[in-house]
Chain A
Amino acid sequence: MAETSIATTPPPDTLLEVVGLSKSFGGRRGRTSGIRAVADVDLTLRRGETLGLVGESGCGKSTLSRLILSLLEPDAGQVRIAGIDFTHAPERHRRELRRRIQVVFQDALSSLNPRMTIGANIAEPMRLQGLGSAALRRTEARRLLGLVGLRPEHEDRYPHEFSGGQCQRIAIARALMLQPEIIVFDEAVSALDVSIRAQILRLILDLQRQFGLSYIFISHDLGVIKRICDRIAVMYLGQIVEIGPAETVCRAPRHPYTAALLRAIPIADPRRMRVSDLGQIEGDAVGAVKPDACPFAPRCPKQFDPCDKRRPALIDVAPGHQAACHLNEPEAC
């Protein structure tokens, strides 16, 4: 895999580049206006970096990860892994590239083959890639089972015999099987209790430190995101509305949607917060956005004049920190 593209490769340690990815789901045939699940997204991921991806339910996070993994054909744009075009690579080449990027799907139980034992499920990626002997794959699967806190001797059981959190850990073990360079975690720790979650997060941080892995970490738990991510990208209706260093985004968000998210986090202390104190955003995300308005405008508490006339661009608000809100424009102040 020595070939490199001559494209404008930004910093040399960039591992994954996402350029102008878009995807609509057409609904019924003959109608062009479907759901714009992902709209013109640009991203980069450096070697050894963790990028957090947060956003409203249904805003297109899983679709974006499917596009990145080349499981869906994008309407436009491409994904490059170490400079190689993953999206348009021929099938055989793409299959090889898949070894470098793995995923933990959101619905853990249904992402496991119900007719295979969990040992076979975990070993499956290697088998599909035609790597290793059966014995080696099995030893490795057992090792990974232990690593995610399950009992290797349970390898002969079937997925339905495990609890939600156990299935999630099986799915994580499977993603580690091919020793990829990039792993996309789609809500991969949501069904784990705080203790096992800490154990799993520690595991993936250790792996990152040892092997320089890069992660895209989709989660609704901002506590976890802030804890393990270097940068955070906030999505709203298919677009990235804010992206920047984790610490800064959480401390001083520059987009009202990010701010609303931070207000809605429940705190583990009944004296400080009950249901009625949870911040809410009024209204619901509208399906069809006016093309020349800010998608968040209808619900934005700080909406002002230009918001439904011009769509805000993603502009630099600080070094390495960008946001798409008119409030950040110089003339707004």
Chain B
Amino acid sequence: MEEKMLMKGNEAIGEAAIRAGCHFYFGYPITPQSELTAYMAKKLLKMKDAVFVQAESEIAAINMVYGAASTGVRAMTSSSSPGISLKQEGISYIACAELPCVIVNMQRGGPGLGSIQPGQADYFQATKGGGHGDYHLIVLAPSSVQELVDLTMDAFDLADKYTNPAMILGDGLIGQMMEAVEFKERKKINLPDKEGWTLTGCKGREKKYIVPFNLDPYEMEKLNLKIQEKYNKLKEKEVRYETVNLDNADLIIVAYGIVARIAKTVMSNAKKEGINIGLIRPITLFPFPEKIIAETSEKVNKFLVVEMSMGQMVEDVKLAVNGKAEVNFYGRVGGVIPTQSEILTEIKKYLK
């Protein structure tokens, strides 16, 4: 059954999550993602064996996710920047406990209460851990409403596969955008059995416990190393990106999410002026597509990273390029969206 419908980004995430078998949602209202919370309320409160709770705070919401996930169900919470900051302790616990869940961050301008317009300044928080301790989320960055749908479904699979929390890192613009989406029939994939770790009551077996701590530092180090192994596997197997026009490009734009879409318009406008631009669009921000960036830096010697931040992903691009090409940065922040003409002006500066 393939259906096409016109949907707002935030609602599309909700529908995708439900179709991915997530019937447990815990949230707290915040702009610009409130439509998602409302959508889950509308759908889940009418569904049998489904749960929607408007939590008393983002802190409570993520801890409800922790509890629900410990029983083996697919659970989700969503918020926007300030609310995601509040969730960090809980996310760190979930990562340490090695439980799967999905967290949606429709970023807005920061810091502080910031603005309610779109932003990308939570990149560090999303990709470097965010909370305390050495852990990572699987971070997926959609750039269309269709991709919101597909990546939301993938996020649940990846979270289950790696027993690790996954994050959809969108922004206010993509959440508010209306686009046609298709809910494609998905191939059934084999996911690891959850039986080994789920808390269900100890009937017919030994008791199980989930404790994200160990006061013996050597044991705690072992746990860290075990989690680290998953991240290595993620880096090996789950990197995703899109490339456009890498051959013969004069300059490569690296951008993700909504900014990558603006970059595509920049590319075609530049072409009319005889400027040949290529694009690398990371789809997974963790694991980061460093290999393709490194390879490209052997062929093209100018990069421009464009973000709605003061320069966060640019650090990962620089690490990948490792001095082999010039890496420049252009960013707008606080909820301001860079226009294609200002990006083109910026590009021309470097191609003089």
Chains A and B belong together in one complex:
no
- A residues adjacent to B (C-beta < 8 A): none
Measured CB to CB, the residues of B under 8 A from A are: none
